[in-house]
Structure 1
């Protein structure tokens, strides 16, 4: 993909949010030069499994990138960055607020050299506010955003997520959108700009439906009270052999197909009644129905039925699923199998 051919990015980030963002940009054709410390290697590089001295995760995040080792505490390295920004006019960095400026490579310093510079800072809490200098990780940003509170079972502890929602859906994706918006702005006005990405802000913005309702004076989101967090039959159901099926049959036509497959047509009226008492009755009946047969049985039953019912797959099962194989969600980089870019540009 060459959609972003001509964009040249200096990437000073490590770990996940910044590298994931620049990986997306590189896969769309941008030239990315990753600037790394010669004395403090990216912690992701040391994860297992190792392939030729680099972890599989590091190789995934750094595909299609070039690399340069610079000690930013060395004036010669700072001079090198000043030289590079005459050619590379998009910056991505992930240090705490003020660090890049103290090193002589902050936005003001680089803008003085190249007024068209687009400078994107990704941090946990943003460049302002009382938490601006506070350390954090994905679990902390999600906790403060309000998302975790209602994304759990009633009366049970929150569950740590298996992927970094605030880092990727918050930091990485919002950074890419903001950078591309700034590129369009620069193309029309000739002006660069500074971008302040807070992963906590971005996670809070993911409260798009429940949060909008609460802000408008509606109910505050609580565990298992909403349409999408277990308050309705939209949920996961255990099968006879301990696997799970995901049921998302909210619309009437999908409810009809679901109930027909489960031999529960008598619940049609209760299914469309979203009051707690009716939904509890429907959920109990659906749960009992799924427990009567195995995971493979239900996979076969719903394989040809358009009811918004799908199996909960392991990662290995997912990568071999007929739909994901057809979409080419993995690719080979030499002998190493990796995740493919999640977009198609034609």
Structure 2
């Protein structure tokens, strides 16, 4: 078997999290990804912890999985010729610089599509390629803030709540990059043309206002914090237990809510539903009930009840859970020293095509630069000259 995306060849100019995560996902599914990196500027993902006996961080080892790496000084005019040669095979480009940077390097879509008209070129940025904010700096929290989502998330007393993961970077940026590229591949197969893809992480977060946004555009009413059944305005919520752990209750449907009320010993609450008239009063009663037992005690009670009631797991518990084992969500990935490193697996399961975990991400000090350059027909003396004069820095 081969990977679902076997035959796709991608040049990856991205750094940090969103772009590298997207190209890792594509590589897991069989795409041939060549990361173009700087040997002199460390990636922002190069932060502790580091693999034992290695110069690569756990994060870089993960998002660099299955990729080859070539170091290249893109400010050196000679790099343009090399990129043009690579485009004879690698006809998909992913880049994550601010708008205009690739144009200054003469590596933008307009410059490169003349080399390969079938080129699919994806630019991933915070605010997109046009508009008043195109050149403004930003990170995950900023994109979420500007989307409107933060305004109705969190608690009345404390305001918007930070998430423990980068929703805009990953759910919006990386996933839309993957979707856009695969859609463009299908278009190219059907019509023979490549194209340019403009992915904005803020656009993606705005699109996530699926329910609240649809309602606002209909009636003009801003959603409020704890005003909807999924954002704290109902019994759908997290609750603390006696041992200061947390449980999650999401039983919106009547049958699940009924099972929940029976589980906590309050069948009298069934008639009021998950969004009772005096919600805050009822919610305080539920909070007090759930604080009377430990997490394990509640798990035992709800183990036989279908109530959308689950424990809030620590990461250590989640990654060692039976569910993760059943679904194969932690895999052993080969490392350069002959050992393996545990990593989170691809969440996509195929019945026919193969998911491969060939190797962890490799540091730039072990890049495949010479091998790639040799494949383009350069001699050893030319490569030595490139090395001496800083082309690979």
TM over 0.5: yes
1:295 corresponds in structure 2 to 295
Match of 2:56 among 50, 54, 57: 54
Looking at structure 2, the residues matched to 344 and 144 of structure 1 have their Cα atoms a distance apart, in angstroms, of: 34
TM-score, normalised by the number of residues in structure 1: 0.97
Residue aligned with 1:338, SS: strand
Residue aligned with 1:216, SS: helix
1:19 corresponds in structure 2 to 20
Looking at structure 2, the residues matched to 87 and 104 of structure 1 have their Cα atoms a distance apart, in angstroms, of: 19
Looking at structure 2, the residues matched to 220 and 246 of structure 1 have their Cα atoms a distance apart, in angstroms, of: 26
Residue aligned with 1:337, SS: strand
1:305 corresponds in structure 2 to 305
1:29, distance to aligned residue in structure 2 (A) = 0.5
Residue aligned with 1:32, SS: strand
1:153 corresponds in structure 2 to 155
Relative to structure 2, which stretch is displaced further, 3-12 or 301-310? Answer: 301-310
1:218, distance to aligned residue in structure 2 (A) = 5.4
Relative to structure 2, which stretch is displaced further, 26-35 or 45-54? Answer: 45-54
Looking at structure 2, the residues matched to 104 and 55 of structure 1 have their Cα atoms a distance apart, in angstroms, of: 32
CA contact (8 A) 1:8 1:90 kept: yes
1:43, distance to aligned residue in structure 2 (A) = 1.9
CA contact (8 A) 2:153 2:159 kept: no
CA contact (8 A) 2:243 2:295 kept: yes
1:328, distance to aligned residue in structure 2 (A) = 1.0
1:160, distance to aligned residue in structure 2 (A) = 2.2
Looking at structure 2, the residues matched to 30 and 16 of structure 1 have their Cα atoms a distance apart, in angstroms, of: 19
CA contact (8 A) 1:142 1:166 kept: yes
Corresponding position: 1:112 with 2:83 = no
CA contact (8 A) 2:155 2:161 kept: no
Looking at structure 1, the residues matched to 304 and 177 of structure 2 have their Cα atoms a distance apart, in angstroms, of: 39
Query: Which has the bigger relative contact order, CA under 8 A and spacing at least 6?
Result: 2
1:45, distance to aligned residue in structure 2 (A) = 2.3
Looking at structure 1, the residues matched to 209 and 255 of structure 2 have their Cα atoms a distance apart, in angstroms, of: 28
1:97-176 paired onto structure 2 within 5 Å: 97-176=99-178
Looking at structure 2, the residues matched to 332 and 322 of structure 1 have their Cα atoms a distance apart, in angstroms, of: 17
Residues 18-44 of structure 1 deviation map (CA, whole Å, 9 limit, x = unaligned): 000000100111000000012212121
CA contact (8 A) 1:271 1:282 kept: no
Alignment coverage as a number of residue pairs: 344
Superposed CA RMSD: 1.2
Looking at structure 1, the residues matched to 40 and 292 of structure 2 have their Cα atoms a distance apart, in angstroms, of: 59
1:318 corresponds in structure 2 to 318
Looking at structure 2, the residues matched to 112 and 47 of structure 1 have their Cα atoms a distance apart, in angstroms, of: 42
Relative to structure 2, which stretch is displaced further, 39-48 or 134-143? Answer: 39-48
Unaligned runs of 5+ in 1: none
1:109, distance to aligned residue in structure 2 (A) = 0.8
Looking at structure 1, the residues matched to 302 and 87 of structure 2 have their Cα atoms a distance apart, in angstroms, of: 55
Relative to structure 2, which stretch is displaced further, 64-73 or 215-224? Answer: 215-224
